[in-house]
Amino acid sequence: MSMNPSALSLPENLQSQKIPGEAYLKFHVNRQIPAVFSMRYVQEALILPSRRLTPMPNMPAPMMGLMNRRSRVIWVIDLAQLLGLSVLDASSTQQYMLILIQVGSIPLGLAVHQVEGMTRLEANAIQSPVGQVTASLVPYLRGCVLQQQSEKQEILLVLDGEAIAQSSILRNPS
């Protein structure tokens, strides 16, 4: 059966309409805290069975272990713990929700509570996080976005992939 390649392309009028804003992956760091990552860092989101994660002895607490993905060995980090929030309840889980990011030559697997999907944010919607969030989070953020969610306002953390990849915990794992 032959496929018609032109049937796969977008109609002309849709190609010219650029959706405003930069693409981000939205997820929950833990049950309460929503965040986004720029899609320029995100490689993929996946579910990793816990048996496929190899714990490493004598590592800082956020370092959950190593995984093998497409012939590459990648560190997996509990993102909530790295950010000083809460610890993933790893004892009760059979699998981890991971976001694989690549910052320069550094691949990282970030274990998160839940991945929600794609969203777009305008650069001018991103505000300074200072005073909006715990001070310990600020070094890991590009900013935050206030979003109206039904009845309440939600603070969406805009994470900085480079700051996370350069975290002192990852540089000096001792």
Average pLDDT for runs of 10 along the chain of length 174: 47 52 93 93 94 92 92 93 77 84 93 94 90 87 85 88 88 56
Question: Which pLDDT does position 90 carry in this prediction?
Answer: 55
Question: Which pLDDT does position 18 carry in this prediction?
Answer: 59
Phi first, then psi: give them for residue 37, nearest 5 degrees. -125, 135
38 forms beta bridges with 24
The reported pTM is 0.81
Residues for the chain: how many in total? 174
Question: Which pLDDT does position 131 carry in this prediction?
Answer: 84
DSSP run (H or E) holding 109 = strand 106-112
Question: Which pLDDT does position 19 carry in this prediction?
Answer: 65
Rounded Cα gap, residues 142 and 137, in angstroms: 10
Architecture category of domain 21-171 in CATH: Beta Barrel (2.40)
Rounded Cα gap, residues 161 and 102, in angstroms: 8
